[in-house]
Structure 1
Amino acid sequence: MNLDDELRALGRSAVVPPVDPELTAAVLARVADVPARRRLRDRWRAFLAGLCVLLAGLALTPPVRATVAEWLRIGGVEAHPVGTGPSTAPPVPGVSGNLSLEEAARVAGFTPARPVVLGAPAGVEASQGFVAMSWDGVRLEQFQSAVEPFYWKKYYSELEYVPTVDGYWFSTPHELLLVDKRVVRIAGPTLVWERSGITYRLEVADKARAIQLATGTS
């Protein structure tokens, strides 16, 4: 099979969400103004132009962004869907360390943020590029978003895009793995977002509360 046939097969098998009709009309109007050319180079140009317009339209749609997050990174977290997963998760684990936020900043190499409304955390621990802190029923982890992901998440339910923080809500229990694929634990509902080169993982049972805490994190 040559490249031309492979592209046709790929086009027949691709599944994409509906495109904005106005966007489609605009593209077709532009194409209609271009004289027909049968040379392979010009067909390639038309194909690539249409593909770029399609991808640009998809990138603006939040549901599509959630679908893309199934196989792309969310800051320092990479998410991978699986067929089945854990049905329950243990309570949100606390952090046993007793560092001050100033000490944690020195160890981690960056100034950690916290949900202001929760006050001082009950526990704080840190390592290079990483800080974890907890309150009753709430755990916040934050780490520098590097070239390689820090965590992998294996989940079996759809991700929900949260525009308020430009992040994603994992609504069901899921496996939390380190980048070397070692299972850390089963995690419960979690909100994940990135800001200024820092990735945040906020574990708390209620989505509305998670969003409220995330927007008040500074």
Structure 2
Amino acid sequence: MNLDDELRALGRSAVVPPVDPELTAAVLTRVAAVPVRRRLRDRWRAFLAGLCVLLAGLALTPPVRATVAEWLRIGGVEAHPVGTGPSTAPPVPGVPGRMSLEEAARVAGFTPALPRELGTPKGVEASPGFVALGWDGVRLEQFRSTVDPVYWKKNYTALEYVPAVEGYWFGTPHELVLVDKRIVRIAGPTLVWERSGVTYRLETADKADAIRLAAGTS
């Protein structure tokens, strides 16, 4: 197959999300300025234009970003699609610790954020760089986003991008795995987002509740 045939096949198979026409024009203008030999110019322009527009669409379209994030990192969490996942999960686990928020902040090395509408948590646990807070049916973990991830999440369907918090909703039960590959437990629906160098995992059954609580966490 020659280059012309390869480019045609690529064009037929590529699924490109909608892109702003002004962005497309800007990309084509940049491509036109690329110095190449005359006999290859048209072929390379077509190839580079298609590739740049595709990449631009991937960068700008939230649903596509969600698909890409299924195998990338979200703060201190890495998401790994590995096929079908668990069909059920136990109730959201409580937090048995009874630390004060002040003590948790000293141990963790940062001040934990709280969902405003939930008030004082019923349970508080902390370790260096990590805090877990619990209410009835809600568990909020927060930890420093470091060079290495803290958790892997495995076995789930497609992630859903949540623009309100620039995070991702894991809507189905999934394995929660520490970086040393120990399975911690099967986790239920969870919202994951990152803010100011801290990763948040808010585990609760209802997506709307999770988004509202996350938006009000400070």
Q: After TM superposition, is the score higher than 0.5?
A: yes
Unaligned runs of 5+ in 2: none
Q: 2:200 is matched with which residue?
A: 200
Give per-residue Cα distances to partners, 1:165-216, cap 9 Å, x unaligned: 0000011100000011110000000000000000000000001100111011
Other structure's SS at 1:67 match: helix
Q: 2:25 is matched with which residue?
A: 26
Aligned residues of 1:27 and 1:50 also touching (Cα < 8 A): no
Q: 2:123 is matched with which residue?
A: 123
Unaligned runs of 5+ in 1: none
Normalising by structure 2, we get a TM-score of: 0.85
Counterpart AA for 1:77: V
Aligned residues of 1:23 and 1:57 also touching (Cα < 8 A): no
Aligned residues of 1:132 and 1:142 also touching (Cα < 8 A): yes
Q: CA deviation at 1:83?
A: 1.4
Change in 2 beyond 3 A, CA 1:80/1:32: closer
Distance in 1 between residues matched to 2:31 and 2:144, nearest whole Å = 48
Other structure's SS at 2:66 match: helix
Change in 2 beyond 3 A, CA 1:184/1:27: same
Q: 2:187 is matched with which residue?
A: 187
Other structure's SS at 1:131 match: strand
Aligned residues of 2:77 and 2:153 also touching (Cα < 8 A): yes
Other structure's SS at 1:184 match: strand
Counterpart AA for 2:80: H
Q: CA deviation at 1:49?
A: 6.8
Structure 1 residues 53-202: aligned runs within 5 Å: 53-202=53-202
Other structure's SS at 2:58 match: helix
Bigger shift: 90-99 or 12-21?
A: 12-21
Bigger shift: 51-60 or 153-162?
A: 51-60
Q: CA deviation at 1:30?
A: 2.8
Give per-residue Cα distances to partners, 1:92-145, cap 9 Å, x unaligned: 000111001110000001110011111111110000100001000000000000
Q: CA deviation at 1:40?
A: 7.5
Q: CA deviation at 1:23?
A: 5.6
Give percent identity, aligned residues only: 75
Distance in 2 between residues matched to 1:32 and 1:138, nearest whole Å = 51
Aligned residues of 1:132 and 1:139 also touching (Cα < 8 A): yes
Other structure's SS at 2:124 match: strand
Give per-residue Cα distances to partners, 1:53-96, cap 9 Å, x unaligned: 53233211011110111111010000011211100000000011
Counterpart AA for 1:99: M
Aligned residues of 2:31 and 2:48 also touching (Cα < 8 A): no
Aligned residues of 2:17 and 2:57 also touching (Cα < 8 A): no
Matched residues, number: 215
Change in 2 beyond 3 A, CA 1:57/1:17: closer
| Residue 17 in structure 1 maps to residue 16 in structure 2 | yes
Change in 2 beyond 3 A, CA 1:37/1:28: farther
Counterpart AA for 2:143: F
- Structure 1 runs of 4+ aligned residues shifted over 3 Å read 10-19, 31-36, 38-54
